[in-house]
Amino acid sequence: MKAFVVEKYGKDGVRAAEVAEPTVGDRDVLVRVGAASVNPLDKMVRNGEFKQLLKYKRPFVLGHDVAGVVTRVGSAVRGFEVGDEVYARPRDLRIGGFAEYIAIDADDVAPKPASLSLEEAAAVPLVALTAWQILVERAHVQPGQKVLVHAGAGGLGSTVIQLAKHLGATVATTANTRSEELVRSLGADVVVDYTKEDFSQVLSGYDLVLDSLGGANLEKSLTVLKPGGLAISVVGPPDAGFAEQLGAPSVLGLVMNTLSRKIRKQAKALGVRYQFLFMQANGSQLRELGALYDSGKLRPVIDSTFPFDQTLEATAYVEQGRTKAGKVVVSIAPDTD
C-alpha cells in the first residue's frame, strides 16, 4: 500500500513509499483510510521532538487523525463490523493515518458521527479529544466559569471554544481581524484582536487559559488568571506528569520538571497553576464527542482539503502558517480496482 513514512528525523525525513499492509492483532480493526488530517503534532514527531519518550522504529507512517471504513476485525473485537464507518486518533507508537490502510486498537476507535463526511470526521479526533481532556478531565469546567482560548480560529482553538461554550463557560479568545466573525459564530463571547491589542492588558479574572503558542504568550497568560486559576499548555514546556503518562523512567520526569521549572515558579508566585497536556487516544470519549457533533453542539472547521498524493504539500501548507482557520484534511480516493 502507499503511505507517507518518516525515514529519518527532520524536515526532509518524510517520503512516499510502498509498504506492507498492517498486521491486524486480536484487538485491532483494520481501516481503509478515507481521510486524514494534519496536526502540529505530526511535525513534532517527524522532527524527533519526543524521541526520548516516544521510541518509534523508523521507518514509520505519519498521521495522527483518521476516518475510514472497517475492512477487517480482530478475533477479540466486539462492537465493530466490516463496513462500519469509524474515526480515531490512534494511540502513540501506532499512528499512521497518512496511508491507505491502518490497524488501530479497537479501544481507540469510535463510530463516525453520522452527520459528518469522512473528510469532516478526519478533522475531529485529535483536537476534540484534546479539548475534552483539557476542559472536562483536567479543568472540570463549570457553568459560569471564564475560559480564555488562544488562537481561536485554529483547529484546536475552534473546537475548545465550542466545547467550553457547551459546558456553560464564558469564553474569550485571541484572533486576528479576519477571523473575528468566525470565532464569534463558534461561541466566543470576547474576542481580542491580537494585531491591535495585548490580551494581558484587557483580560483578567479567568479560571482557565488554554495556551497553544508557548513562550512569552504562556507567561503573559498566567497574569490573566484569578487566584488558583489554571493555565494548560499543549506545546510545553512539559512537566513530570508527561513522563509519568508515557510510563517513562523517573529520571525523565525530573528532566521534564527542570524544563518547566521557570514557568511553574512564575505561576506559583502569582498564586496560579501550570500544567502541560499531551492528549491520549480514547475511543469512548470519541463516542461522547460524536454525539455532540451529531446534535449540532460542535462542528468541524476545515481550511482546505488536499488529495492523498499531495500529503507532503498539505503538511508544508500547515507548517508555513498558511492555514486561515481550522484543519487541513487529506482525502484518499477509494481504490476502484
Distances (CA, A) of 335 to 33, 91, 101, 332: 10, 26, 11, 9
Using the predicted structure, report yes or no on whether residue 94 has a pLDDT greater than 50: yes
pLDDT digits (tens, 9 = 90+) for 26-71: 999 999 999 999 999 999 999 999 888 889 999 999 999 999 999 9
Exposed e or buried b for every residue in 238-262, given b needs 16+ CB within 10 A?
bbbbbbebbebeeebbeebbebbee
Identify each DSSP E strand in 25-80 by its residue range. 28-38, 60-61, 65-73
Instruction: State pTM to two decimals.
Output: 0.96
Closest by Cα among 109, 122, 116 to 80:
109
pLDDT digits (tens, 9 = 90+) for 155-203: 999 999 999 999 999 999 999 999 999 999 999 999 999 999 999 999 9
Q: Does domain 126-276 have CATH number 1.10.300.10?
A: no
pLDDT digits (tens, 9 = 90+) for 200-246: 999 999 999 999 999 999 999 999 999 999 999 999 899 888 888 87
Per-domain residue ranges for the chain? 2-123+301-331, 126-276
CA dist., res. 324 & res. 123, Å (int):
15
Q: For the chain, what is the mean pLDDT?
A: 95
CA dist., res. 326 & res. 328, Å (int):
7
CA dist., res. 28 & res. 203, Å (int):
47
Q: How confident is the model at residue 335 (pLDDT cuts 50, 70, 90)?
A: low
pLDDT digits (tens, 9 = 90+) for 306-334: 999 999 999 999 999 999 999 999 999 76
State the number of CA atoms in the 13 A half-sphere of 268 facing the CB: 6
What's domain 2-123+301-331's superfamily in CATH?
Medium-chain alcohol dehydrogenases, catalytic domain (3.90.180.10)
Closest by Cα among 101, 137, 296 to 86:
101
Distance of CA 214 to the CA centre of its chain: 16
If you average pLDDT over residues 257-285, what whole number do you get? 96
Give the three cell numbers for residue 258: 527542570
**How much of the chain, in percent, has pLDDT values that exceed 70?**
99
CA dist., res. 208 & res. 161, Å (int):
12
